[in-house]
Chain A
Amino acid sequence: MARVVLIGNLAQLTGGVAEFTISAASVKQLFDRLTELHPEIGPHLQEGVAVAIDGQIYQDTLLQPIEPDSEVFILPQIAGG
C-alpha cells in the first residue's frame, strides 16, 4: 500500500484529507482510486499535477509504476521560464 500525500490546495478537493494509504501499481491506478474516493479531485488530476514517487518527480506519466511501499506526493505541476 503506497502512502500518498496531497500538497498545496489539492487537499481542499478531498474535504481536507491530505494523506491516504492506497493500493495502486501505477500513477493511472492511483488517480482512478483517488477519484473513486473523491470525485471532485478527478479533473484536477487530469491536468496540472506532478507526482513524486520516492523522491523522483514525474510529470504527465500515467503509466509510471508505483511500488507497494512507495511514498507518493501529488503536487501542482512545475514548468519554468
Chain B
Amino acid sequence: MAENGTNGTNGQGYVGTRTIRPDGVDKVTGRARFGADFNLPGQLIGKVLRSPHAHARIVSIDTSKAEALPGVKAVITRDDFADQSSEFIPAGEMMMNYKDVVRNVMAREKALYEGHAVAAVAATSTVIARRALKLIDVKYEVLPHVIDVVEAMKPGAPLLHDDLFTAGVEPKPDKPSNIAKRIEINLGDIEAGFKKADVVVEREFKTAPVHQGYIEPHAALASVSEDGSAELWCCTQGHFIVRAHCARLLGLDIAKIRVTASEIGGGFGGKTVVYLEPLALALSKKAKRPVKMVMSREEVFKASGPTSGATVKVKMGATKDGKFVAGFAELKYQAGAFQGSPVQPGVFCAYAPYDMENVKVIGYDVVSNRPKVAAYRAPGAPISEFAVESVVDEIAKKLGIDGIQLRMMNAAREGTKAAYGPKFGPLGLEETLNSIKKTEHWNTPLRKWQGRGVASGFWFNIGGETCASLTINEDGTVSLMAGTPDIGGLRAALTNVAADELGIPYDKVRPIIGDTGSLGFTFLTGGSRSAFSGSMAIVEAAKQIRTELCSRACKLWEAKPDQVEFKDGAVRPLGALAEKVKPMTIADFAKVAGKTGGPIGGYGRINAQGAGPSLGTHLVDLEVDPETGRVTILRYTVAQDAGKALHPAYVEGQFQGGAVQGIGWALNEEYIYGDDGKLQNAGFLDYRMPVASDVPMIDAILVEVANPKHPYGVRGVGETPIVPPLGAIANAMEQATGIRFTELPMSPPKVLKALKEKAANGKS
C-alpha cells in the first residue's frame, strides 16, 4: 500500500498555523479547573507546620494536643513515612536521592531550612487546621546555619549532613562536607589555548537564588480508600512522576495510585517534584477522608525550590582576529538543603554555543540552609551562560568587533564538537545571529544613558518516554489523549498535528490530558519536550490508524494493499479499483467500525529520541536613570531556532515569556535572607517580578532549521529563551553606564551604588 509520509502531506496544513487552542474557551471563562479548583464531598483541609529555623535538630514532636482538638482528623510527622535508602533517581532535572526526597517532604533528623515541613494536620476547616498547627509542640535544637555558596564551601562551615562526602575528588575525603560533588569537563589543552590568546579576560560573577514565580501555588487533593488505593488531583508538570514518587514514599503499588493532572498555573520546572502530594495522601489514609492542601504564597517561596544562587569565574582567551582559543570556567552552585543543583548542565552549556578547541569547566554542587533547589527553565544554563556572554562582550569591545560578528566567527554549527563530547547536528545559531543583524532594532541609534546588548544561548532539549492515543469515535470525530500536562498551548500544537496526520478538520479533534490510569508512563512536561515528543507519539498513533484503515478497506473491497492509499482523510482506491468503489472517509469507517473488527484507534508509546538543541540570540536596548538606578527596557528582540513551529503563536509565547523571566532575573529578582537565615521577601510585593509596565513588546523572530530526527523537524523551544537575557542585559548595561556589572540582579540600589562609585573614582 502506498503510505503517506508523516510531513503533513495528508491534511489541510494546520501545522504551522495559529489555530484557536481547544482548551481556550474554558480558560477565558474561568471554567477550567486548576489545582485548587477541585473539591470532594467531605473533604478535610490539610495544613503544614514548618520550621521557623534555618538549621535545627528536631529533638521531639508532640502532636497530642493537636490530635485532641475537635475537628482534627489526622496528624502526620516523620514517623508516618518509612525511611528510604540511598538511591538516585532522575527527578525533574537533577538526579535526586530518595533518602533526600523523603526528608525534604517531611523533615526527619533535622530542619534544614526555614519552611522545611515538620508536621501536617487534616481538619474539617482551615481555621481548625491552623489552630491545630499551633498546638503541635516541636522542640528544636537550633544550629548555626549557612546560606551563601562560598561560605558553605569553607572548612568549618556549619555542616548540613554528616554523611555527605564530596564525590568526584581523589583521594576520597574522609570528612563530610557541604560540597556534594565536584565535576569537570575538558576539551583540548587549556593552558596551550591561553598561550595562543592575544586578549584574555577574567571575571568573577555572582547570582542570587530566584524563584520560578508561577502564579499558581502548589495544590493537591488526595482521597485514599480502605483498600489502600488512592486518587490524587494535583497541579504538576508530571503526574506519572508524582505517582512514582508517592508510590515509593507511601509503599504502594504504582497501579493503586491514580493521578489526574489538573490544569496547571505555571511550573517552569518548579512543579516537577513533590511537596504536598505525599502529605495529602498520608493524611487522607489516616483520616479516611479526602484531604485538600494548597500552599500559601509565602509557603511557595519558603518551601518550594527556587533555583541556585551561584558564584562563577570565567576566563576566556581570543586571538586579535576574534577567534576564541580558550575557555575556562569554575561554577559554584547552591543546591539548597539537599544535593542536586543544576551545576552539571551549567558546566555543559557554558561554552556550548561556540566552536572552541580548548575548554575546561569545573563545577561544584554545594548544600546550604535554604529550600532544596528545583529545576527552573534550562536549569543551570542561564547562570553559566550569563557569565560567558558577559566576557564574550568584553572581548568584543577590547577587539573592536561587534557582538554579532564575534559570535558569528565562533558559532557552533553542524559538525562542531561540543565541549561535553559529541558533535552537533544541524544548528540554528548563525541563522539567529543573522536575523538579529538584519533587524531595524540592531540598526537604530542610541542616546546617552542608553545601551544595547546582545547575547546568545543554548539548551539541549530532551525527548523521553511519551504516550499518546488517538481514538476514532462513532461519528468520525477523534479523541486525542496525551500524557504530558499542557503548560502553555500543547493541546493546540498536538491537535494541529493530529488533524494533519489524519486529514480531518481541526475542530473534529478533541484533546485531553489523560490521567495515569489511562496511558502508559509518560515523562514530565519539561526539558522542552512535550511538543517534540508528544507530536512524535501522535504521528505514531496516526500511522497505526492509517495502516488499520487501509487494511480494512482492502478487506471490504477485496483489494490488494497496492490498490489503496490513505490521502486527505480517506482511504482511496487506486487505478482500476477506483471505477468500482468510492473512497471511504474516516467517518465512513467509523460508522462500520464495530462490524469491521471493532473500534479504531492508535496508541503511540515511545521513548522519543533525537531532540535537537535550540539556539537563540537576544537583542535588548535599555535606558538607565542615573538618579534612581532604575533600568527601563526600551526594546527587545528574540530570534530563536524552533526547528519547525507546530503552532507559531505558542512558540512566540515561549520566546517572549522566557525573555521576560530573564529580564526579571537580571534586573530585580532575588532571594533576600536575613542574618537569621530567614527569607525576608517571601511575597510578590518584595520578590518583584516584571509587570506589564516594566517591559515593551517583545519581537519574536521564528527561525526554523529543521531537526532531521523529528518527522516535522521540531526542536523544543521552551527553555532556551531564558538563557540569553541575563548576558544581553548586562552587556547593554555596560554600554549605557561604562560599568561591567558582575552581580545579579542589577537592581536600582546596586546600579546607583555602582554609578556613584564610578563617579567618585572619576573625580579622584
* Residues of A bordering B, CB below 8 Å: 5, 7-9, 12, 47-48, 52, 54-61, 64, 71, 73, 75-81
The reply to whether A55 and B425 contact each other, CB–CB distance below 8 Å, is: yes
The reply to whether B529 and A80 contact each other, CB–CB distance below 8 Å, is: yes
Q: Is B528 an interface residue (CB 8 A)?
A: yes
Residue of A nearest to B610 (CB): A56
Tell whether A8 pairs with B184 under 8 Å between CB atoms, given A79-B90, A80-B379: yes
| Cross-interface CB contact of B422 among A57, A60, A81, cutoff 8 Å | A57
The reply to whether B527 and A80 contact each other, CB–CB distance below 8 Å, is: yes
* A8 and B88 alpha carbons, distance in the complex (Å): 17
Residues of chain B lying within 8 A (CB to CB) of residue A48: 88, 90, 95
The reply to whether A79 and B462 contact each other, CB–CB distance below 8 Å, is: yes
The reply to whether A81 and B375 contact each other, CB–CB distance below 8 Å, is: yes
The reply to whether B424 and A55 contact each other, CB–CB distance below 8 Å, is: yes
Tell whether A81 pairs with B378 under 8 Å between CB atoms, given A56-B425, A76-B344: yes
Residue of B nearest to A8 (CB): B183
Distance of A16 from chain B, by nearest CB (Å): 8
Q: Do most interface residues of chain B lie in helix, strand or loop, or is the interface mixed?
A: loop
The reply to whether A9 and B462 contact each other, CB–CB distance below 8 Å, is: no
Distance of A42 from chain B, by nearest CB (Å): 14
The reply to whether B425 and A77 contact each other, CB–CB distance below 8 Å, is: no
The reply to whether B461 and A80 contact each other, CB–CB distance below 8 Å, is: yes
The reply to whether A47 and B93 contact each other, CB–CB distance below 8 Å, is: no
Contacting residues of chain B (581-638) with chain A, CB-CB under 8 angstroms: 607, 609-611
Distance of B88 from chain A, by nearest CB (Å): 6
The reply to whether A7 and B421 contact each other, CB–CB distance below 8 Å, is: yes
The reply to whether A79 and B463 contact each other, CB–CB distance below 8 Å, is: no
Residues of chain A lying within 8 A (CB to CB) of residue B88: 47-48
Distance of A48 from chain B, by nearest CB (Å): 5
* A5 and B268 alpha carbons, distance in the complex (Å): 33
Residues of chain B lying within 8 A (CB to CB) of residue A73: 420-422
| Cross-interface CB contact of A8 among B185, B212, B270, cutoff 8 Å | B185
* A25 and B270 alpha carbons, distance in the complex (Å): 39
Distance of B444 from chain A, by nearest CB (Å): 34
Residues of chain B lying within 8 A (CB to CB) of residue A7: 185, 420-421
Residues of chain B lying within 8 A (CB to CB) of residue A56: 422, 425, 609-610, 709
* A8 and B212 alpha carbons, distance in the complex (Å): 28
* A48 and B94 alpha carbons, distance in the complex (Å): 9
Residue of B nearest to A48 (CB): B95
Q: Is B144 an interface residue (CB 8 A)?
A: no
Residues of chain B lying within 8 A (CB to CB) of residue A5: 421
Q: Is B311 an interface residue (CB 8 A)?
A: no
Size bracket, chain B contacts: 35 or more
Q: Is B376 an interface residue (CB 8 A)?
A: yes
Residues of chain A lying within 8 A (CB to CB) of residue B463: 59
Contacting residues of chain B (460-497) with chain A, CB-CB under 8 angstroms: 460-465
Q: Is B167 an interface residue (CB 8 A)?
A: yes
Q: Is B213 an interface residue (CB 8 A)?
A: no
| Cross-interface CB contact of A12 among B95, B168, B347, cutoff 8 Å | B168
Q: Is B670 an interface residue (CB 8 A)?
A: no
Q: Is B377 an interface residue (CB 8 A)?
A: yes
Residue of B nearest to A78 (CB): B460
Q: Is B217 an interface residue (CB 8 A)?
A: no
Q: Is B526 an interface residue (CB 8 A)?
A: yes
23 A-B pairs (CB sep. < 8 Å): A5-B421, A7-B420, A8-B347, A48-B88, A52-B421, A52-B422, A56-B425, A59-B463, A61-B607, A61-B609, A75-B348, A75-B420, A76-B344, A78-B345, A78-B462, A79-B379, A80-B269, A80-B375, A80-B379, A80-B528, A81-B268, A81-B272, A81-B526
Interface string of B255-275 (1 = CB under 8 A from A): 000000000000011101000
Residues of chain A lying within 8 A (CB to CB) of residue B567: none
Q: Is B89 an interface residue (CB 8 A)?
A: yes
Contacting residues of chain B (363-379) with chain A, CB-CB under 8 angstroms: 374-379
Contacting residues of chain B (302-348) with chain A, CB-CB under 8 angstroms: 342, 344-345, 347-348
Contacting residues of chain B (540-596) with chain A, CB-CB under 8 angstroms: none
Residues of chain A lying within 8 A (CB to CB) of residue B93: 79-81
The reply to whether B609 and A59 contact each other, CB–CB distance below 8 Å, is: yes
Interface string of B223-259 (1 = CB under 8 A from A): 0000000000000000000000000000000000000
Residue of B nearest to A60 (CB): B607
| Cross-interface CB contact of B90 among A47, A57, A71, cutoff 8 Å | A47
The reply to whether A79 and B526 contact each other, CB–CB distance below 8 Å, is: yes
Distance of A32 from chain B, by nearest CB (Å): 20
Residue of A nearest to B170 (CB): A12
Contacting residues of chain B (157-191) with chain A, CB-CB under 8 angstroms: 167-168, 170, 181-185
Distance of B86 from chain A, by nearest CB (Å): 12
The reply to whether A81 and B90 contact each other, CB–CB distance below 8 Å, is: no
Contacting residues of chain B (702-752) with chain A, CB-CB under 8 angstroms: 709, 716, 719
Residues of chain B lying within 8 A (CB to CB) of residue A57: 422, 460, 609, 611
6 nearest A-B pairs in the assembled complex, by CB-CB distance = A81-B269, A80-B527, A81-B375, A52-B422, A73-B421, A55-B423
Residues of chain A lying within 8 A (CB to CB) of residue B709: 56
Q: Is B534 an interface residue (CB 8 A)?
A: no
The reply to whether A79 and B92 contact each other, CB–CB distance below 8 Å, is: yes
